[in-house]
Structure 1
Amino acid sequence: MERPTTAAEAVAVQERLRPLVRTDRPLPPVRTAAGLDVAYFPGSDRLVAAVTVLDVETLSTVDSRAVRGTADFPYLPGLFAFREAPSLLRALDGLTTSPDVLVCDGQGLAHPRRFGLACHLGVLTGLPSIGVGKTALGRYDPPGEERGATSPLLLDGEVLGRALRTRRGVKPVFVSVGHRCDLDSACELVLRLAPHHRLPETTRTADRLGRDLS
């Protein structure tokens, strides 16, 4: 991964890689899904990058890897990938199982330059990837209350994702395509991965692993 040192250099990397994103076909059959999350040590740039690989049918963890590192790029909106992706890529390299899809705790196309963390990791690894954000980057109308209800997520008047209700009575999550999938199949997979809680089990297990080590 390229390691720019300034915001301008980082934006140039995003602009150069963005045309490589593919969003025109459904996900291929998915047996395993990797959750990716980063936990920071309090008041520090030291971090733990955690990856857990789940069997999609049983939601059991079949592989995991966590690495400690330091975020050496500034904390700047729209450029989080340059803080977190280097350590996440190290964690992915340490897996013994190759996941069928990456499910990132962050954004994909729902990004000012249409190249969030999920897009960045998808392009660099060549794997299908999905962004599942806890907060909306853009505007949306609340979806219906029933599980599986969606509404468009808009940024600059463009539909870049969906607000997805994974559980009745809780706030939706915000799904956007990262790479090598379309929005319909991304939302379908996120629902499969979130049978009981707001967040998909991929995110929950990766978050737990990272917090246990930070």
Structure 2
Amino acid sequence: MIRVRDLHPWPSTEAEAVAIQERLRPLVRFDGGPAAVRTAAGLDVAYREDSAELVAAVTVLDVANLTVVDSVVVDGKAEFPYIPGLFAFREAPPLLRALSELSVQPDVLVCDGQGLAHPRRFGLACHLGVLTDLPSIGVGKTAPTLNAAGRYEPCGVERGEWSPLRLDDEVVGRALRTRRGVKPVFVSVGHRFTLDDACELVLRLAPKYRLPETTRTADHLVRMSSL
């Protein structure tokens, strides 16, 4: 069973949420990842139309053949407003509930969002990784919103080519091409992983499509469950 560490109360204000991110950020680790990744979890959330009600899903895939070996769906309600940079406070609570109900513990969490590629270097992948102490990475569909100092250069067009995401002259992630000529995904470390290993894993999880199968299966599950 995945245990969630009780490291903070869930906030009700923007200031409280920012303070939690600042306090937890030093807990992010960049070592201690699995020697071999056999299972990887995809996590996603969908909102019911014109409602604060949501559906959170976690799928666990066998990395060798990309088949789903476990999955959980939970219903919930967004208890925190949408504020840029504080995405985790809306979606982490239901995702943590779903993770706690898994029967197969994944070797790594692959989050549909950012990790270090975040204005305070503490995106959803960092938050979930620290609270569960599981290795985690972020794979964003769109370029992260950093600040005026955040930037990246276009990467090459071939599969596997990448360019660094920088924030204040520090590399916080990569734009990674998973298919030739298709726009990249944006990979960053969440917890207990390295950026090189994160990009290698994303390519293993995305043999045919732009997005990794972890994201695709979790997205499919929430969409089916929210109809």
Which category of TM-score, normalised to the shorter sequence, fits these structures?
over 0.9
Is 1:109 matched up with 2:116? Answer: yes
**Per the alignment, in what secondary structure is the counterpart of residue 40 of structure 2?**
strand
CA shift at 1:156, angstroms? 2.8
2:197 is aligned with 1:185: yes
Q: Does 1:161 align with 2:173?
A: yes
Amino acid in the other structure paired with 1:123: V
**What amino acid maps onto 2:189 in structure 1?**
V
Instruction: Say whether residues 1:118 and 2:130 are aligned partners.
Output: no
Determine what percentage of the aligned residue pairs are the same residue.
76
**Alignment TM-score, normalising by the size of structure 2:** 0.92
Count of paired positions: 214
Q: Is the 8 A contact 1:26 1:184 kept in 2?
A: no
Gaps of 5+ in 1: none
Q: Pick one of 155, 158, 163 that aligns with 1:146.
A: 158
Paired letter, 2:188:
S
Secondary structure class of the residue paired with 1:139: strand
Identify which of 25, 28, 33 aligns with 1:21: 28
d(CA) in 2 for partners of 1:172, 1:13: 31
Distance 2:213 2:23 in 1: 33
CA contact (8 A) 2:59 2:214 kept: yes
Identify the residue that residue 73 of structure 2 maps to in structure 1. Answer: 66
Secondary structure, counterpart of 1:162 in structure 2: strand
**How far off its partner does 1:153 sit?**
0.7
CA gap of 1:38–1:103, structure 2 versus 1, over 3 A, is same
Indicate the residue corresponding to 1:52 in structure 2: 59
CA contact (8 A) 1:122 1:129 kept: yes
* Alignment TM-score, normalising by the size of structure 1: 0.97
Aligned partner of 2:42 in structure 1 is 35
* Match in the other structure for 2:221: 209
Give the Å deviation of 1:140: 1.3
Give the letter for the 1:127 counterpart: L
Secondary structure of the residue aligned to 2:152 is coil
Q: How far apart in 2 are the matches of 1:202 and 1:27?
A: 18
Structure 2 unaligned blocks of 5 or more: 1-5, 145-149
On the 8 A contact 2:76/2:94 being kept in 1, the answer is yes
2:137 corresponds in structure 1 to 130
Q: Deviations over 1:22-46 (max 9, x none)?
A: 1246653110000001011112211
Structure 1 equivalent of residue 3 of structure 2: none
Q: Following superposition of structure 1 onto structure 2, how do residues 72-83 of structure 1 map, counting pairs within 5 Å?
A: 72-83=79-90
CA deviations over 1:137-185 (Å, ceiling 9, x no partner): 2421111111100100112332100000000010000000000011000
Contact 2:33/2:135 (8 A) holds in 1: no
Decide whether the 8 Å contact of 1:71 with 1:84 is kept in 2.
Answer: yes
**Counterpart secondary structure, 2:45:** strand
